[in-house]
């Protein structure tokens, strides 16, 4: 724990309580290290220390959220840190005068609460940076090169943080967290590349070599692709590709998105949206989950929330205020303004990747995607571009690499047409997947594939 973290956090809560009715204050002191590599060589290393405070305050149903960045981290600088808090408190008092009240705000959670410990969220070796990070990078690069890749690019990042959550609702909890992230792209020629990443909270769970092998294998198989043809395909999505789509099923379950008419789940509660074998959860309690945490942003204990159960949409995600508005219970998903998912988890199937490929008579294997964009969020119409290796499947076998195709679909159609899930559950998060997703390989039938217009 940073020596002055609690002292400054308690001082900030006290000062904000003087100008607000409700206060939720999160203070986080962290350290991050990063190694970037390109063309099989390490090109940049960096270490960063941070100490930030975020505050949610209300006064007469007026809501204001602010951040106090770059707080001094040394104990000798406590007076300077308190001065920044004083300035922020004065600004909050001034700005609250100009904020319009939110009539349907019904307060924050009232504690105290009891929390269940979640395994594998903290690793002392990461927290102490007691490891040779270059060895991890080299192992990942070598794994890709051994599969036939000629060049590798990517990043290896470690994070450690101490956090305190203090609220006017009688919440006072401390936590420690670590994480590791490895991303690698393997390349052979312009149109022959593979990509994979691995996310974990502990070193025992990070899959550096496996990621390198997958990226290298896909790059090797993707050489000399032919232009693909538009049409309907049964698509096998790799976890990295499907996670970009799947995170939207968690986000659309937020009552905030539903109210704002930004959710394709609006007016769908209780409807059969997928096969009876389909189960999707928001699970903040999963061991080693990237966004797993014993409590949400207002201190409510988290849990495993069924979003889709046996193919049926079961619930929206609420914080305390929105739950009171709809006369239900919070799901432990604050976001103080917009409730949201922690980890979107798909219940895995029993088939291997090879078995799933054998099921497909005419289809595609898409290993990665980027630039998902909605044409209409309320209906779920979207498009997304495959990148890296993409392959035609004919009669249960990979027939060869293809390129220049686009997925042009609808989120509800994707759900309805999920046909089979593999047994290889992977935790995905990164540039294109801002909400962590745990998903295996997934077959989606009758996917509309178009050709890009440019």
Count CB-CB contacts under 10 A for residue 147.
19
Closest CA to 185 of 422, 367, 373: 367
Specify whether 53 is located in the same domain as 202. Answer: yes
Q: Which of 182, 217, 252 is the last residue of a domain?
A: 217
Domain-terminating residue out of 193, 217, 241: 217
pLDDT digits (tens, 9 = 90+) for 9-53: 999 999 999 999 999 999 999 999 999 999 999 999 999 999 999
Judge if 232 and 213 occupy the same domain.
Answer: no
CA 109 to mean position of chain CA atoms: 24
Provide the total of helices (H) and of strands (E) in the chain, helices listed first.
10, 22
Q: What is the CATH number of the domain that holds 118?
A: 3.30.2290.10
Q: Are residues 235 and 305 in the same domain?
A: yes
Per-residue confidence in pLDDT tens, the chain, 454 aa: 456 899 999 999 999 999 999 999 999 999 999 999 999 999 999 999 999 999 999 999 999 999 998 887 666 688 888 999 999 999 999 999 999 999 999 999 999 999 999 999 999 999 999 889 999 999 999 999 999 999 999 999 999 999 999 999 999 999 999 999 999 999 998 889 999 999 999 999 999 999 999 999 999 999 999 999 999 999 999 999 999 999 999 999 999 999 999 999 999 999 999 999 999 999 999 999 999 999 999 999 999 999 999 999 999 999 999 999 999 999 999 998 899 999 999 999 999 999 999 999 999 999 999 999 999 999 999 999 999 999 999 999 999 999 999 999 999 999 999 999 999 999 999 999 999 999 999 999 999 999 987 6
Q: Are residues 137 and 274 in the same domain?
A: no
Q: What pLDDT is recorded for position 3?
A: 60
Contact 37, 166 (CB under 8 A): no
Asked if residue 422 and residue 376 are part of one domain, the reply reads: yes
Q: Do 248 and 378 lie in a common domain?
A: yes
Same domain, 195 and 172: yes
Q: Which residues pair with 46 in a beta bridge?
A: 34
Same domain, 211 and 233: no
Domain that holds residue 293: 225-450
Half-sphere exposure of 350 (CA within 13 A, CB side): 1
Lookup: tokens for 68: 């106090």
Give the tens place of pLDDT for each residue, 62-91: 999 999 988 876 666 888 889 999 999 999
Task: Mark whether 174 and 279 lie in a shared domain.
Answer: no
The predicted pLDDT at position 452 comes to 83
Last residue of a domain, one of 194, 217, 240: 217
Cα–Cα distance for residue pair 153/89, rounded to 1 Å: 45
The domain total for the chain is 2
pTM of the model: 0.95
At 454 the pLDDT is 63
């Amino acid at each position: 724990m940073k020596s002055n973290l609690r002292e400054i956090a308690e001082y900030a809560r006290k000062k904000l309580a003087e100008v607000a009715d409700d206060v939720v204050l999160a203070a986080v002191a962290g350290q991050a290290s990063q190694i970037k590599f390109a063309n099989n060589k390490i090109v940049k290393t960096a270490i960063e220390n941070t100490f930030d405070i975020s505050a949610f305050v209300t006064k007469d149903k007026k809501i204001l959220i602010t951040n106090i960045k770059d707080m001094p981290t040394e104990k000798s600088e406590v007076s300077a840190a308190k001065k920044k808090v004083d300035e922020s408190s004065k600004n909050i008092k001034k700005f609250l005068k100009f904020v319009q009240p939110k009539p349907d705000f019904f307060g924050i959670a009232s504690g105290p609460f009891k929390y269940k410990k979640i395994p594998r969220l903290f690793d002392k070796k990461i927290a102490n940076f007691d490891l040779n990070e270059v060895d991890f990078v080299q192992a990942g690069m070598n794994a890709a090169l051994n599969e036939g890749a000629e060049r590798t690019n990517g990043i290896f990042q470690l994070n450690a943080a101490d956090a305190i959550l203090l609220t006017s609702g009688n919440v006072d909890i401390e936590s420690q967290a670590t994480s590791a992230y490895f991303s690698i792209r393997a390349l052979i020629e312009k149109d022959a590349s593979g990509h994979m990443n691995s996310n974990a909270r502990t070193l025992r769970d990070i899959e550096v070599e496996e990621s390198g092998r997958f990226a290298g294998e896909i790059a090797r198989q993707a050489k000399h692709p032919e232009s693909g043809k538009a049409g309907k395909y049964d698509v096998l999505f790799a976890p990295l590709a499907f996670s970009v789509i799947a995170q939207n099923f968690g986000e659309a379950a937020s009552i905030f998105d539903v109210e704002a008419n930004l959710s394709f789940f609006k007016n769908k509660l209780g409807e059969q949206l997928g096969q009876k074998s389909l189960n999707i959860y928001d699970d903040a309690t999963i061991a080693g989950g990237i966004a797993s945490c014993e409590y949400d942003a207002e201190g409510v204990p988290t849990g495993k929330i069924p979003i889709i159960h046996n193919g049926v949409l079961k619930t929206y995600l609420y914080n305390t205020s929105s739950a009171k508005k709809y006369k239900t219970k919070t799901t432990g998903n604050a976001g103080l303004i917009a409730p949201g998912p922690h980890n979107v988890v798909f219940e895995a199937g029993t088939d291997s990747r090879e078995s799933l490929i054998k099921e497909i008579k005419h289809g595609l294997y898409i290993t990665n995607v980027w630039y998902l964009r909605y044409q209409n969020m309320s209906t779920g119409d979207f498009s997304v571009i495959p990148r890296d290796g993409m392959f035609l499947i004919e009669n249960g076998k990979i027939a060869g690499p293809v390129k220049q195709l686009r997925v042009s679909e609808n989120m509800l159609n994707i759900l309805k047409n999920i046909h089979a899930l593999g047994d290889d559950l992977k935790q995905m998060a990164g540039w294109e997947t801002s909400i962590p997703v745990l998903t295996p390989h997934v077959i989606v039938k009758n996917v509309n594939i178009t050709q890009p217009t440019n």
